Amino acid sequence: MEEALNFLDCNCSFGRRSIVEPGSFYKIEDLVHKMEYYGIKRALVYHAMAQEYSPLVGNSMLMEEIKGYGQLIPVWAVMHHHTEEFYEPDVLKDRLRENGIRAVTMFPGRNDQGFSTDEWNCGELFDMLEENSVPLIIGLDQVGIESLLGILKNHPGLKVILKRTGYSLNRNLYGILKKFKNLYIESSGYKVHHNIEEFVRMFGAHRLVFGSGMPFHSGGSAVCNINYARISDEEKNMIAWKNLEGILGGVKW
């Protein structure tokens, strides 16, 4: 490529965690430095406290701490409202709009916030996100295949960006991708031999979204995976930033 890609990262976080993995980091300054070093121009970010403690607390900390960092785009962690730990969907809609939030994430896994994403528990939340075209970024480790299928089937207008897919998912993932056009795959967690080239051939570059997984994973390897893929320059640009820009631009605030 003659020009560097304008990377827009869909999968970053910062904030002190209960366990700091060897080689990782947690300070916002370190995230910004790593982004500059790897050539990642902008990033969607959530706060570690929104995962490990409380979405309300973590989201509030996020909004305060990213002030002055224009390259960081806030992502709120959300959950259902039934225990009154979090906003009801109509109130959440107003809060998202007021704060300019264009993407959300959630951590329902039993090692985190431990709740079901089935319709009886989260259907109203997903209805609101779907109605307003707010994308949901979620890890396969958090939701599992069967629950993911339920979300995609019941909410065909909800764009879901799936991260942490691992290397052995294709025999299930391909069938899901063919059936559900509202599913997108985050690139860094998709660790399969010739993964980018094969995915683009099978499903098109428009279904892949760039992510690094920092601070848990290397931003360098994530960038290289796209830069050196044997696909066209336009396809690289689609994955690096255009696809995510289009998804975020579709939010109906």
pLDDT digit string (tens) for 178-202?
A: 999 999 999 998 877 788 999 999 9
Q: Which two tokens stand for residue 75?
A: 């992502």
CA dist 159 and 174 (Å) reads 17
Question: Is residue 169 a part of any domain in this protein?
Answer: yes
Question: Is residue 2 a part of any domain in this protein?
Answer: no
CA dist 178 and 65 (Å) reads 40
Do 37 and 46 touch, CB atoms closer than 8 A?
A: no
Q: What does pLDDT average to over the chain?
A: 95
Q: Which two tokens stand for residue 207?
A: 């279904």
Strand partners, 43: 9, 72
Determine what percent of the chain is predicted with pLDDT higher than 90: 87
Do 151 and 143 touch, CB atoms closer than 8 A?
A: yes
Secondary structure element (H or E) that encloses residue 245, with its range: helix 243-249
pLDDT digit string (tens) for 71-103?
A: 999 999 999 999 999 999 999 999 999 999 999
- Judged against a pLDDT cut of 80, whether residue 216 lies above it is answered with yes
Q: Residue 228 carries which DSSP code?
A: T
Q: What average pLDDT does the segment 200-214 reach?
A: 97
Q: What is the CATH number of the domain that holds 93?
A: 3.20.20.140
- Judged against a pLDDT cut of 80, whether residue 13 lies above it is answered with yes
Q: Which residues form the domain of 14? A: 7-249
Domain count, the chain: 1
Residue 22's pLDDT band (cuts 50, 70, 90): confident
pLDDT digit string (tens) for 23-64?
A: 789 999 999 999 999 999 999 999 999 999 999 999 999 999
Question: Is residue 1 a part of any domain in this protein?
Answer: no
Angle between the N-to-C axes of helices 170-179 and 195-203, in degrees from 0 to 180, rounded to the nearest 10: 30
Give the Cβ contact number of residue 106 at 10 Å. 26
Question: Is residue 172 a part of any domain in this protein?
Answer: yes
pLDDT digit string (tens) for 139-159?
A: 999 999 999 999 999 999 999
Question: Is residue 192 a part of any domain in this protein?
Answer: yes
Q: b/e string for 113-132 if b means 16 or more Cβ within 10 A?
A: bebebeeeebbbbbbbbbeb
CA dist 138 and 106 (Å) reads 6
Residue 1's pLDDT band (cuts 50, 70, 90): low
Question: Is residue 40 a part of any domain in this protein?
Answer: yes
Looking at per-residue confidence, does 98 or 167 come out higher? 98
